[in-house]
Amino acid sequence: MTSSSPASKPRSRRGKLLRILLILALLLGVVYIGISAYMVDQLTLTTRRSVVNNPAADGLNFENISFRSRRDDVTLRGWLLKAAADQGRVVVMVHGYNSARDDENNGMYRVAQALLAQNFSVLMFDLRGCGQSEGDRFSLAWFEQEDVRGAIAFVQSRGYRHIGLLGYSMGAASSLLAAADEPAVQAVVADSAYADLMDVLDREVPRRSGLPGIFTPGIVLMAKLMYGIEASAVKPAEAAARLGARPLLIIHGQDDGLIPFESAARIWNARYGAGTPDPATYMIVPGADHTQSFKTDNAAYMQKVGGFFAEHLK
């Protein structure tokens, strides 16, 4: 009869403990990935909002239009609002997260009417998964930048040669990313843009998911694996730096509770260089929350935006 040596028993116990720890680590990894995947599935779903305004009822000269995104061939729908004497000038307006082309929250439709009165034609459209466009998920500008590129191609096909972009929040980020590689865009207005998406996710994912921040890297990874969303590549400030000599107007609410107004300075510095921002291209609106600058001071807002496009779309 044989028996184990005294030295072999501790080794056996250590081996068992190691196996248990490996199994626990594997289980925890599976749980971590599973929770991250579930949150990606939930957090990227859009809440579709209806288009509530009617240009025909308001006596506007317009056309219901549709075009394809540059990515996935998604059909996007909107309006081409035609100015009486646009001189080939058009402003493409881009709404934000879980919104629609005529976002009542930030007054986009009223802004469009004011631009029409200043003889700019306006393209308003629904990003993927929003309003009347196809799709059911959003990506905080990774896919939406391709929707903006589709809009740029559409207005070019209609003969417009003086093209400006006016984006809000996610739409502002998408506009910067698109314009960086689209030389046809002559000028950009970015209202309430974030400088780097990862900064937003580090702050907002725990708040919206209820999970500790340790899950944010897993959610970012699963967004890439499940839907091809490259969140870490969404860097609007870096895109602003690639605009070259093309002008950029930054607008931000001083009391923005979602995207701190410091993001505005980061984007402005990326485009124009370090220093004190120039009031001609930088507007911080006191008392304004996220995308609320127009509603807070609509006269100053339109004077700044209208004057900017009048100077640079020619």
Q: Are residues 181 and 247 in the same domain?
A: yes
Phi then psi dihedrals of residue 282, to 5 deg: -150, 120
User: Does some domain include residue 1?
Assistant: no
Residue 231 has pLDDT above 80, yes or no: yes
Answer yes or no: do 82 and 26 share one domain: no
Residue 2 lies in a domain: no
Digit-coded pLDDT (tens) for 77-115: 999 999 998 889 999 999 999 999 999 999 999 999 999
Q: Do 34 and 167 lie in a common domain?
A: no
Calculate the alpha carbon distances from 169 to 30, 225, 248 in Å. Answer: 35, 25, 15
The C-alpha angle 109, 115, 116, rounded to 5 degrees, equals: 90
Domain count, the chain: 2
Greater pLDDT, 11 or 96? 96
The CATH number given to whatever domain includes residue 269 is 3.40.50.1820
With a cut of 90, say whether residue 172 has pLDDT above it. yes
Same domain (yes/no): 29, 56: no
> In this structure, what token pair is assigned to residue 193?
């843009």
219 and 284 together in one domain: no
Q: What is the DSSP annotation of 59-93?
A: T--EEEEEEE-SSTT-EEEEEEE--TT-TTEEEEE
User: Is there a domain that residue 87 lies in?
Assistant: yes
Q: Which domain holds residue 27?
A: 7-43+198-231
Q: Is 94 within 8 Å of 122 (Cβ atoms)?
A: no
114 found inside a domain: yes
Shared domain check, 266 and 141: yes
Residue 4 has a pLDDT of: 54
What confidence score (pLDDT) does residue 8 get? 64
Identify the residue with better confidence: 43 or 149: 149
Query: How do residues 241-264 score in pLDDT, each as one tens digit?
Result: 999 999 999 999 999 999 999 999
- Residue pLDDT, tens place only, 268-300: 999 999 889 999 999 999 999 999 999 999 999
pLDDT for the residue 1 = 45
pLDDT band at 7 (very low <50, low <70, confident <90, very high): low
Same domain, 19 and 119: no
Beta carbons within 8 Å of 13's beta carbon, 6+ residues apart: none
pLDDT confidence of 11, banded at 50, 70, 90?
confident
240 has pLDDT over 50: yes
192 with 202, same domain? no
Residues 21 and 65 reside in one and the same domain: no
My answer on whether 116 and 141 are in the same domain is yes
223 and 280 together in one domain: no
